[in-house]
Every structure is written in structure tokens, then in C-alpha cells.
Structure 1
Amino acid sequence: MSAGNKETRRDTECQSGTECFSNPLMSDVASDWSPIHDAAYNGRILALQRLIAQGTRVNLSTLDKVSPLHGACMQGHTACAKLLMDNGANVNNSTADGQTPLTEACAQGHVACVSLLLQHGAASLGTSQSSSPIHRAAAKGHPECIEHLVQYGADVDQHIDQLGSPLQVACNNQHLSTVKKLLQLGACVNRNASGDSPLHIAARLSSPELVSVLLDHGADRFRMNSEGKRPLDLATPSSPAERLLKQAGDLGTNINLDVYMET
């Protein structure tokens, strides 16, 4: 939808008698930010309690389908999120672009909110491919969120077209601690349904830290990607990552990374 069409929709809603509030943090999209959204987003628990007592709907949404619960979880306001859910907020409500309160909390690394949402029935697998909480947490580097998601049934190897698995996403974003957590939780180190395996990704990025961790967990140095290339073929020549890949067969997988960090 074009910006012009969004403005037309917004004007129509405001003229119809719905009170509109501008949210400066969402100025790039059409957003009708109500008092209950404002209270939830800013962690104003007393104002939120008062609005709910006055009968304000906890599932009131903006034109982009952002709910007060989305706002609370974006900012990590756990008390506000709990109050909203205790009063009937839809824990799996999706925005216009498919994001749930859980994906928003995972993207920001708000572990307490993630745990609370899961306890209240949030879908750990997401409600669509565009709202996978574990992929959002992997992309942003939040291993603690991933641990909670897996405890509540998230698939550590969940595949999304164009993105691949959470491990591939974490490697692409070079989040080493998240890669380690996913491997600890049993992620498949050689998965390459989207073309490149995690080791291919690490080699492309010439990241010796990622290469070392993946090799330690059994990554296949000889696995071909969709282009018929091995990880070694993708590493920057003479880089520490290339040297690790070349020497892994002779030295075994438990390699002292410091030996290869000198250029």
C-alpha cells in the first residue's frame, strides 16, 4: 500500500470519530496511537490500569494492527504485558506485517517478556513464516530468548524460505554466542536447505571464530552447496578462516584458534 493510500485511510478513520494519537517512533507507517497504546509502550502501569478499568479495549489496534501488547513487549514492560494478558489481550495477535508480541520481544531481547508470553500461550513457532520468534532472536543475537523458545516447543532447526534455519541466520549475522547456544540445543550443523551450510556461511564471511566452533561440532568441510562449492572454496585466500579449513583434517576438529589468528 502506498504512503498516499495510508494517509487516506488514516484521515478517514480520524474523521469518523476515532481519536488518533501520533506515535513518533512509528512515523514511517500509518499508526493511530491511542492512550492505551501509549501507556503500554511507555510502561505507565497506573495509567494502563485506569484505562482498563474505564473500559478501554485491551485489544484495540492501530491501522497497522499494532496492539497495546505489542507496544509493551517491544519495550520490555513485563508488568504492563501481564496486566494486558490478565485482562484478555490476544497473545498471538499479528501486526499487518505478521509480527506477534513474542517476535517483538525476541527481536529486542526482552527475556522476561518472552518467558511471560510463552507461559500465557504464545505460539513458540510463530503464526506464519514471517513471524518466527526463533529466527528473530537468532538474527538479533539473543541466545537466552532462544533457550526459552526451545523449552516451549520451538524447533531449533525450523526452516524458513530465503532465510534457512536459525543457525544459518545466526551465522549470517555473526552472533557467535547465539551460534554456540543453538548448537548446544541440538541444531543441525550441516543443514543447507537454503544453499549454504552454516560452515559455508562462516567461510564466506571469513570468520575464524565461527569456522572453529562449527568444526568443533562436526561441520562437514567437504559438503557442497547449491553452487557445487565447498566451504574452503568460499574463504578469503590466506585468511585465518581458510587456514583453519585447510588444516582441520590433519589436526582434528579441536583446533586452537589462536594459532591461526596471525595474518
Structure 2
Amino acid sequence: MAALEIDGMYWSLEALRARGQDVPRGRSVKELICEGEAAFDRLQALAIACADPRSGLPHLADAKSHLQLPILYPNKLIAVGANYSGHLAEMGLPIARWEPMPFFFKPPTTSMVGPGRTVVVPTDTSEFDWEIELAVVVGKRLSHASEAQARRAIAGYSVGLDLSARELIKPAGSAMPVDLARGKSQDTMSPMGPYIRPAAFVPDPHALRLSLRVNGVVRQDASTREMLYSIEEQLAIISRFVTLEPGDVVFTGSPAGSAKSHGVPFLQAGDEIAAEIEGVGLLEVTVKGREETLAA
């Protein structure tokens, strides 16, 4: 169910439609994004009305405000790698733009989850690691786009986590140099949320603080200023090879601070991750064991 979030409170679009408000046709977030700027203008007017206590428009009770993945589901989830200077430095690599820009697909349904007790320790790993990423939500079709076209096509931003089973990415003794399916694309390894912040409300996405805490301890603390490829460059480059569609999501790289690079404990069942991006949101997830999932 699509809803508006204002200062931590939620207004159901279905409930607003039932109250006779001018609500866009779309029933889901993805459908709203596909409607484009007309839907955004109407949602902005709705938000102003909801924020006015004199309107009498009721918000959802906390017990009914269970947040799911903001988009169920994008046609594509694409992740860009090696895009932060600090992350390259901590891996002992030259700080330079890799040519060509590396990017890869992650399965859009089974790997993506929202906030809460949603992340499951993947199979056959003892090196379950974290990476906070600015998630970009595409609002217009892009194919062989210019950077200017890509910039205008951004619908909004969210907080993403690119979780990894480190020893499965480069398995010892394997003929495969890199295995991103087992290493980065297992079920629940791409949390995103808690909502989508419209691009109009994020004036400069290249000047945002990113921070990630595990059980209250800060593990990543950086800025999107460290990106080697800008967001519009990433979208434009990807669009040369893959057509981007409304509702698609691009993870734009992660800064320094991974467990692998710093010798700190990897993620275990029961660990709590709090990933926050300035002006975008706070995504909180809890890791659970596979046996807990099977029991449920």
C-alpha cells in the first residue's frame, strides 16, 4: 500500500482517495513513479494538506505502519562498484576511475527487502559484510542518455545496503575469478528503504553524509563527495548498454569501512544495522539466522 511520509507519520493513499482527495491513479509506488511529474505535483499538494492539522485527514496508527520495500519490485537493480576513493584506498588500490566503469545486476526480487528483521545470514559464509550505498530511483526511460537527460530522469533517492559474502566473491580454488551471484546476490542481501525521498527534496546528492552503525558502533562514515563517477555519469553509462526504466534502482557505490578491510567482526544473527544518509533516510535492519527463517 502506497503512503506519504511526513515527519515520521504516514498517510495511506487509499484512505485519502476514500476521503475524496485528489490522489494519482497509481496504487503502488512503482505505478506512481511511472505517472511522472503529474503524479508528483498531486502528491506534493496532498502532502501539504496532510501536514495541515486543520484538514482532519487521519494518518495511519503506528500499529498499521509496517514498512516494506519501497518498490515491489523494480524491473532491474543495478550496482556500481569501485566508485568511492576511500573504499579503493582501504583495499590498497590506486584511487582512480576504473575504465570501463564496473557495474553488475543483482536479482530484483529475492535479494531485495525492506526494514526490520529482514536480512538472513546467507548460505556457506562466515564473512558476511556490509556496505551502505545511496540508491537512485529512475523516473524516466533512459537509453543512450546524456548526463543532462540522466539527471532529469531521477525520481528520488533511498538508502541501500549492498551486503556481501566476502569469501564467496573470490572462492579459493575456484576457476571463477569473481562470483557475484553467490557473493552478492543471495536472498535478502540488498535491503533498501525505508522510503523514497523525491529528488526535488535532495538539492545536492553529491554532498550527503553516509553513516553505518552495527550494534551502535560506527563502521562507515563518509560523504557522497567521494564518488569517482557522478550519479548522472553512472546512469548515462549504464544506459548505453541497458535501457533503464521507471522504477529501476541503481546502487551507486560504497565508501570505506567494510569489515573485511578493517579486521572487525563480520555480521552475525542478531546484529542490528542502522544505515543513514543525510536528507534521505535511516534504514534499520536486523540480521537473523537461516534456522529462524525456516521456523517462521
What is the TM-score of this pair, normalised by structure 1? Answer: 0.23
Q: Which of the two has higher C-alpha Rg?
A: 1
Which has the higher relative contact order, 1 or 2, with Cα contacts under 8 A spaced 6 or more apart? Answer: 2
* Structure (1 or 2) with the greater strand fraction: 2
What is the TM-score of this pair, normalised by structure 2? Answer: 0.21
* Structure (1 or 2) with the greater helix fraction: 1
